[in-house]
Amino acid sequence: MYNPTEFLRAAIPAAIEAGKAIMEIYARPTEDWEVERKNDNSPLTLADRKANVIIVDRLQATGLPILSEEGAHAPYDSRKDWTELFVVDPLDGTKEFIKRNGEFTVNIAYVVKGTPVGGVIYVPATHTLYFGMKGFGAFKVGDVTVAKNDEVQLIRSAARLPMETQRRNFVVVASRSHLSAETQAFIDALRKEHANVEILSAGSSLKICRVAEGSADVYPRLAPTMEWDTAAGDAIVRAAGMRVCDAATGKPLTYNKEDLHNPHFVVSK
């Protein structure tokens, strides 16, 4: 079995290197980002493609199969025999990238028999790194540049998640301006349980990270997502002692399914 520690040694440098390539393109807004539209009408840019090439090149050395949003998806008849794999979103939050608000991430997860056991999320615009491993815990590095490419120093500088916070409000991660009817009903129910409910907005997998780090209490995602959107964050949340559960059944999410869509889910403590 591929060791989760080995996963981090492969995935962290891959995510940071991909983030550098993304930021090189992000820093040139007047140049052609080669924006295309995929079959689901979501955007695809030069940054997505370059980040994917870097990550795949790095992870291929492990010998494990890779399921990436921007890669060729093997048929389920082949994938169903993958007991271990990487699930990758090389640029999560492409819409945020195009809007230039900095709220986009690089997501790499290690999945064993459908369960995410290792996760890395890198935020290139702020040099922030989140990572987690089953049995070892979840961590955050506020600025990876202080480690100067020293992996040991990087790990030592990490803060364990969740971090201590002092706040009075019960914080829900959701869109302030585009709440679905289901999400609004979920929040209305919380307001009956908690005196002060605050809505916190965030892009990409940062929404899951907000719960993992302790700056939010719950994140209901009652809208479509794909496995690569959540796998890394799911692993980090689980490593932090929290849950990502199917909103209908309360069961943990599973990965490398025949249908790569996630059910509606809730991230909570």
Instruction: Give CB contacts under 8 A, 24+ apart, made by 61-70.
Output: 61/10, 62/2, 62/6, 62/7, 62/10, 62/86, 64/2, 67/227, 67/228, 67/256, 67/260, 68/228, 69/226, 69/228, 70/44
Classify domain 4-161 at the CATH topology level. Fructose-1,6-Bisphosphatase; Chain A, domain 1 (3.30.540)
Which stretches within 68-180 are classed as H helix? 76-79, 94-99, 151-156
- State the binding site for substrate: 69, 91-94, 229
- State the binding site for Mg(2+): 69, 89, 91-92, 229
List the strands of the sheet with 243-246, edge to edge. Answer: 197-200, 170-173, 218-221, 265-268, 243-246
Contact 166, 187 (CB under 8 A): no
- State the binding site: 69, 89, 91-94, 229
- For 172-181, the pLDDT digits (tens) are 998 766 678 9
Break the chain into its structural domains and give their ranges. Answer: 4-161, 170-268
Assigned token pair, 189: 């129910």
From the list 145, 121, 146, 154, the residue with the least C-alpha distance to 240 is 121
Query: How far is Cα 58 from Cα 65, in angstroms, rounded to an integer?
Result: 12
What pLDDT sits at residue 1?
62
Is the Cα torsion angle 135, 115, 236, 25 positive or negative in sign?
positive
What pLDDT sits at residue 42?
73
Assigned token pair, 172: 């829900």
What pLDDT sits at residue 40?
61
170-268 is classed CATH 3.30.930.10: no
Q: What residue ranges in the chain does DSSP mark as E strands?
A: 36-37, 43-44, 66-68, 84-92, 105-112, 115-123, 128-133, 137-141, 159-161, 170-173, 197-200, 218-221, 243-246, 265-268
What pLDDT sits at residue 34?
76
Query: How far is Cα 146 from Cα 142, in angstroms, rounded to an integer?
Result: 9
Tens-level pLDDT at each residue, the chain (269 residues): 678 788 988 999 999 999 999 999 999 877 777 777 766 657 788 999 999 999 999 999 999 999 999 988 999 999 999 999 999 999 999 989 999 999 999 999 999 999 999 999 999 999 999 999 999 999 999 999 988 767 778 878 899 999 987 788 999 998 766 678 999 999 999 999 999 999 999 999 999 999 999 999 999 999 999 999 999 999 999 999 999 999 999 999 999 999 999 999 999 98
- For 205-250, the pLDDT digits (tens) are 999 999 999 999 999 999 999 999 999 999 999 999 999 999 999 9
For residue 51, count other CB atoms closer than 10 A to its CB.
28
pTM of the model: 0.95
